[in-house]
Structure 1
Amino acid sequence: MQIRSVAASDLEAVHKLLSANGWAHRIADIEYLGRLISASHTSVIAVADDEVVGFARAISDGLSNGYLSMVVVAEPFRRRGIGQALVQHIVGSETGITWVLRAGRPGAAEFFAKLGFRTSPVAMERSPAQPLAG
């Protein structure tokens, strides 16, 4: 298995992986996915036997704050260390950054806790469809 940066030629395979694993609502089409990846600090894939089997991306200022997003591994390849390798590839070299994420999917909180993430009492979020309260 290889972890590497996403290339333009990978977009179709990444779109297929994300769509098949519960992310279709966040990636309307390949063009949107390409813009999402381009706007990210880091986007990586896991490749096994020439197949994209994992994807992760991060948004960060590169100095103090980072958001880990869309850590996805194809179902048949789970529990093989691929998700951990994706996360380590992104956060491992960024030692001065506080990383945050949303762990709302089943098993996500337990997975990220094993990697050293802890539940925070200070996190808040605002959904994009909500108007600002004034």
Structure 2
Amino acid sequence: MSVQVRSISNSDFDAVHHLLVTNGWAHRIGDVEDLGRLISASQRAVVALADDEIVGFARAITDGISNGYVSMVVVAEQHRRRGIGQALVEGLIGSEPDITWVLRAGRTGAAEFFAKLGFRASSTAMERPRR
């Protein structure tokens, strides 16, 4: 199985919405139009395709110079542990050494996954949670 990571296009929104809803992210995205607004407000959004099917999605907010926030990395359950998540993160953040990337690793296994990609726990981050 070969996997391709590319920038998202408007024609992908329905498939990405389905991927997110079926993989535990429904509470964060609303309907397809809400998802479109989230993606529009993100500077980077990529999808992973396997055999022309969207099996992964990731998005980030960044100034492209100094700071970035990885907001979502989602891989369809049956396609996990095959390097797709890593390919999504690499496609999303690139190799820009001057950008500090942050994220919330709140899901089971997320901290371990991101640690393998060079992220580490920070004692300097602060958070104002949503209400």
| Smaller-chain TM-score bracket | over 0.9
Matched residue count: 129
RMSD of equivalent CA atoms = 0.8
Q: Percent identity?
A: 71
Q: Deviations over 1:54-110 (max 9, x none)?
A: 000010011100001110000110000000001011122322100000000000000
Matched, 1:25 2:34: no
Q: 2:120 aligns with which of 118, 121, 126?
A: 118
Structure of greater Rg: 1
Residue 108 of structure 1 corresponds to 110
Q: 1:52 aligns with which of 51, 54, 71?
A: 54
- Relative to the length of structure 1, the TM-score reads 0.94
Structure 2, unaligned stretches of length 5 or more?
A: none
Look up the equivalent residue of 1:66 and give its one-letter code. Answer: G
User: Tell me, what secondary structure is at the counterpart of 2:91?
Assistant: helix
- Relative to the length of structure 2, the TM-score reads 0.96
> 1: distance between equivalents of 2:70 and 2:85?
12
Matches within 5 A, 1:1-134: 1-129=3-131
- Shift >6 Å, 4+ stretches: none
Structure 1, unaligned stretches of length 5 or more?
A: 130-134
